[in-house]
Amino acid sequence: MRHLIEPMDFTEKEIRNILDLANRIATNPSLYSHVAEGKKLATLFYEPSTRTRLSFESAMLSLGGKTLGFSSAEQSSATKGETVADTVRVVSCYADIIAMRHPKEGAPLQASMYAKVPVINAGDGGHNHPTQTLIDMMTIRNRKGRLDHLKVGFCGDLKFGRTVHSLTKTLMRYEGNEFYFISPEELRIPEYLEKKLHGKNISYHECEELESVLPKLDVLYMTRVQKERFFNEEDYIRLKDRYILTEEKLSLADKNMPVLHPLPRVNEIAYEVDDDPRAAYFEQVQNGVYIRMALIMALLGLEDPGKGEVVFDVKS
Ligand code: NCD
């Protein structure tokens, strides 16, 4: 049985297969509208979410399957003191696959050790968000035609932003990528990530100012300041509007530099940017459904009707 807990769980080839399948689904969704008939997806969300949960549900419904679940810890037996291990053992009897979001780092990993069905990490604390990473990769590949030899800028809360951590780890695997980490001093990337970059001899730069870096970038990944992970409100207020991307600033950037954002956006991208052809964040949302459809098919060991073979050989 296969799970998706962290970005390194999939090989480069498996990632390519998922992205290719997601693109095939995008061009012919009706071909896939019955492949998961009779299957159920449980969404166990212990932390708020709009996009991720609805996009998982939409993906399963688009494959002809059904969904069940809860959207906050308060709605679950966690309030009675039930452990994640027990909850997933129980839910394994109700569903064929589980998507879990949890404020505690490592909770989905623990769940995967006790579940009898595949578990997908839909975000664990400030740690990982591997499905968002697949979406980001699909969007970058579709826009730039490649996943290597890119100068990628990450801007905003690089300390707590799990989407940044997961995407950096994944893009590190591709040759020639170079990273620009743009953040206030307090919100720099975690030390463990720096060590990984050093260990692999990957070229990266850290700076506080966005404008001077913009002209160099092939891709810009904006993030919001993660209010819920701050210990004190004053720091959040001081840092939250540090970067606001406007059309004026974007005039410094390459004409083909996509602007990604995992959403929700708070203030960090002005609304005027939405009409710029470089804005790719709503495309990410649409890609999210296709990626999650592809992922559910892969982990359930389903056959791709577009190719006549299973996506992943889940028995191996
Ligand atoms: C992200 C998350 O939950 O980490 N949102 C998402 O899933 N698209 C980003 C965020 O909350 O800032």
Q: Is 129 in the pocket of ligand 1 (CB under 6 A)?
A: yes
Residue 303 Cα to ligand 1 middle (Å): 30
Report pLDDT for 316.
52
Q: Is 224 in the pocket of ligand 1 (CB under 6 A)?
A: yes
51 belongs to the catalytic site: yes
Q: Residue 34 pLDDT > 60, yes or no?
A: yes
Report pLDDT for 182.
98
* Contact assessment for residue 312 and residue 97, using Cβ atoms and an 8 Å cutoff: no
83 belongs to the catalytic site: no
Residue 100 Cα to ligand 1 middle (Å): 14
Q: Phi and psi at residue 61, in whole multiples of 5°?
A: -65, -35
User: How much is the average pLDDT of 192-210?
Assistant: 97
Q: Phi and psi at residue 183, in whole multiples of 5°?
A: -160, 160
Q: Which DSSP state fits 78?
A: G
Report pLDDT for 77.
84
Q: pTM for the whole thing? A: 0.96
Q: Walk me through the domains of the chain, giving residue ranges and CATH numbers.
A: 7-128+288-310 (3.40.50.1370), 130-283 (3.40.50.1370)
Question: Closest residue (by CA) to atom 11 of ligand 1?
Answer: 264
Question: Closest residue (by CA) to atom 7 of ligand 1?
Answer: 52
Q: Pinpoint the alpha helices (H) of 217-257.
A: 233-239, 247-250
Residue 38 Cα to ligand 1 middle (Å): 30
Question: Closest residue (by CA) to atom 1 of ligand 1?
Answer: 262
Closest CA to 143 of 300, 257, 266, 312: 257
Report residue 112 as tokens.
């995967």
Q: What is the pLDDT of residues 290-301, one digit of tens each?
A: 999 999 999 999
Report pLDDT for 142.
98
Amino acid at 229: R
Q: Is 262 in the pocket of ligand 1 (CB under 6 A)?
A: yes
275/74: higher pLDDT: 275
129 belongs to the catalytic site: yes
Distance CA 221, CA 243 (A): 12
Buried-exposed string 90-111: b where 16+ CB fall within 10 A, e elsewhere: ebbeebbbbbbbbeeebbbbbb
Which among 47, 138, 154, 163 is the best mutation to test ligand 1's pocket, defined by most ligand atoms within 8 Å of the CB? 163
Q: Residue 130 pLDDT > 70, yes or no?
A: yes
- Rounded (10°) CA dihedral 132, 137, 138, 143: 130
Distance CA 153, CA 219 (A): 6
Closest CA to 92 of 112, 75, 106: 112
Residue 19 Cα to ligand 1 middle (Å): 20
Report pLDDT for 31.
98
Strand order in the sheet with 178-182: 204-207, 178-182, 151-155, 219-222, 259-260
* Angle, helices 130-144/12-27, rounded to nearest 10 degrees: 70
Burial class (CB within 10 angstroms; exposed 0-12, middle 13-18, buried 19+) of 59: buried
User: How much is the average pLDDT of 171-181?
Assistant: 97
Q: What is the pLDDT of residues 49-103, one digit of tens each?
A: 988 999 999 999 999 999 999 999 888 888 888 999 999 999 999 999 999 999 9
Q: Is 133 in the pocket of ligand 1 (CB under 6 A)?
A: no
Query: What are the residues whose beta carbons fall under 8 Å from the beta carbon of 238, sequence distance 6 or more?
Result: none
Q: Is 162 in the pocket of ligand 1 (CB under 6 A)?
A: yes
Residue 62 Cα to ligand 1 middle (Å): 22
Which among 138, 168, 236, 263 is the best mutation to test ligand 1's pocket, defined by most ligand atoms within 8 Å of the CB? 263
Q: Is 163 in the pocket of ligand 1 (CB under 6 A)?
A: yes
* Contact assessment for residue 110 and residue 104, using Cβ atoms and an 8 Å cutoff: no
Q: Is 132 in the pocket of ligand 1 (CB under 6 A)?
A: yes
Q: Which string of DSSP letters, residue by residue, matches 136-177?
A: HHHHHHHHHS-SSS-EEEEES-TTT-HHHHHHHHHHTTSTT-
User: How much is the average pLDDT of 193-222?
Assistant: 97
Burial class (CB within 10 angstroms; exposed 0-12, middle 13-18, buried 19+) of 81: exposed
